[in-house]
Structure 1
């Protein structure tokens, strides 16, 4: 049961959130409508569609909420910036920025960006919209901080269809990777205190995405397919062929973080690639790595990664970052189940962004509450963000990559672009 004091604290925090974003809504009626909508998203409403949210708020019809999402004047991107700033303040610095996409199953063909495309939401090709998202996670919690709607070429190549869905004329086709690059650049430029970026292989295999992260000076651990090419002085090799050379003692049993059933333990192997130095004589500040994660119960199941990390990092640090990727899946699940992220009925482009951003704000509020509760007099129980191993210990567990036909010779020069 929630006590009176807790309920009062929660109400005060929600009022603080309303005050933080009130300036984004120029008229008093819009501010009150936004408050009602957000309260509905947070409420135990069976289905958070227009009618049920309106009924919960005491409105006779959902017309007011439809105007809030479709035709009223306010900037969803400015509200997104408020969400990101709020999350950073609650969760602190040194976290991981996670990129992934999720699907929104839809009927019909008029919702902006809808089409038959693969989505992990249903695990198949389905009629859906795809949203590309960024989440931020630290030891204090996790929350969504940015979003973009993916528009297939079937949309961007049909300007009349775009016009009907109120898609801006300037919006052209962009791959999911390009949308991810835009979000990462935006988040870091705005001061989100992320030290790392992680993503699944759909994003990790794009060399332009990895190059951008290096240029921005942020570390990354990104998944890549087993067929990913690595360039060596002896030619090109698949990453799975190189990892297959790892001796038995190169594999270390490491937890990459706690899950629902306790520590998530795997066998990990890593190989550090040659140092990165942009000028002759400069000491490198970062190293590139390849990394592999092997299941304990099903050793044939191996996941592969590229990494870019400060020279002081060890395999334990890389495994920890790789293990944070699941946090965005938890964000999707919580935001959909608790905040109606996927229960919108809008069809227009602007309506999608407005509903999604308000749902992100609702989820950020819940994350902030949980972070505040956990911080109340709790002893620090999470491991530090950086390893305390000595320099010689940091090199343990990495191994020199050799050509499959050559022993004891480091041939790897760089990851292919």
Structure 2
């Protein structure tokens, strides 16, 4: 997390002058939709030199044409979720068809099973199809199908250069990172544990929580060993999982407060816990890899 914006509802906040004054909301702040706020943060990050090749988000952002136009103007690719009722143009733009109607008429050969990355219980497999919706092959409708429930999800995609299906699938899968980041920030550093009533107080709390989360993220990255790629090597049964953000926060809390046990014993317990977590993860992976359809 590198930026934040406070969403103020139009009627209950932005048009209530007395309430704005009591909360210290600056006079220049006007109502902005969430996609508009996202566009502001993306623009600020790009202008600050942050290197980003892709943007991904849920339907609230994918349905906004203004955000999509902004990303295209900045030459940043996107994979944004949209509703099943979204109409896209096919046959060189001559026909506008609902996304779910297109999915109904796809041949079995159009679907490709790919993993969007490793989850807590193994690789997350879905069936994917993509349809070109522009002559330059830079714009696609991406469709994801759950192999167990046949539930469908739809994405509008654009990239400044041609990319393979696997790249769009990879970007779509990174949306889980967003949810995981929010969960970690709420659970580990109290992102949502505030009772503030003032504009400045909210920004102070959120900024400090983001800083604490960044601190833990850096410690986690530094504690992760650099491994040489060995595709045929399997972790030993005694190998613990890498230190996670919750584990590092637990260790810091125990060390910074007067510990009831010695640091060596504390680290021993941490290793024991992570070895058992590794055992559970290997079991999940073996079961998931034995039958990718359950991914």
Which TM class, normalised by the smaller chain length? 0.7 to 0.9
1:378 paired with 2:236, answer no
Residue 139 of structure 2: aligned partner:
288
Once superposed, what is the RMSD of the aligned Cα atoms? 1.6
Q: TM-score, normalised by structure 2?
A: 0.74
Q: In 2 relative to 1, CA 234–349 (structure 1 residues): closer, same or farther, beyond 3 Å? A: same
Structure 1 alignment gaps of length 5 or more: 1-143, 277-285, 383-417
Does the 8 A contact of 2:81 with 2:154 survive in 1? yes
The CA deviation string for residues 306-334 of structure 1, in whole angstroms up to 9 with x for no partner, is 00124341111100100000111111111
How is 1:321-400 mapped onto 2 (pairs within 5 angstroms)?
321-374=171-224, 376-380=225-229
Q: TM-score, normalization: structure 1? A: 0.53
**1:156-305 pair list within 5 angstroms:** 156-232=14-90, 233-276=93-136, 287-299=138-150, 301-305=151-155
- SS of the aligned residue for 1:223 comes to strand
- The alpha carbon displacement at 1:189 in A equals 1.2
C-alpha deviations, 1:37-96, integer Å up to 9, x for none?
xxxxxxxxxxxxxxxxxxxxxxxxxxxxxxxxxxxxxxxxxxxxxxxxxxxxxxxxxxxx
Structure 1 runs, 4 residues or longer, greater than 4 Å off:
none
Q: Distance in 2 between matches of 1:171 and 1:274?
A: 38
CA offset at residue 234 of structure 1?
Answer: 3.7
Structure with greater proportional helix content: 2
Q: d(CA) in 2 for partners of 1:226 and 1:372?
A: 42
1: CA distance, partners of 2:107 / 2:64:
29
Q: Secondary structure at the match of 1:320?
A: helix
Structure with greater proportional strand content: 1
Give the structure, 1 or 2, with the largest relative contact order (CA under 8 Å, sep 6 or more).
Answer: 1
* Counterpart pick for 1:152 among 9, 28, 43: 9
| Unaligned runs of at least 5 residues, structure 2 | 232-295
Work out the CA distance in 1 between the residues paired with 2:29 and 2:38: 15
Q: Deviations over 1:144-199 (max 9, x none)?
A: 11111100012110112101100000001111111111011111111111111000
Corresponding position of 2:250: none
Alpha-carbon contact 2:138-2:161 (below 8 Å) kept: yes
- 1:381 Cα offset (Å): 7.7
Q: Which deviations, in whole Å up to 9, do the C-alpha atoms of 1:235-282 show, x marking residues without a partner?
A: 421111122222110100000111111111000000122234xxxxxx
In structure 2, relative to structure 1, the CA distance for the partners of 1:231 and 1:262 (3 Å cut) is same
CA 223–244 in structure 1, closer or farther in 2 if over 3 Å, else same: same
Give the direction of change, closer, same or farther, for the CA distance of 1:235–1:323 in structure 2 (3 Å limit). same
CA distance in 1, matches of 2:206, 2:175: 21
Change (3 A) 1:380 1:366: farther
Kindly tell me the number of residue pairs found equivalent between the two proteins. Answer: 228
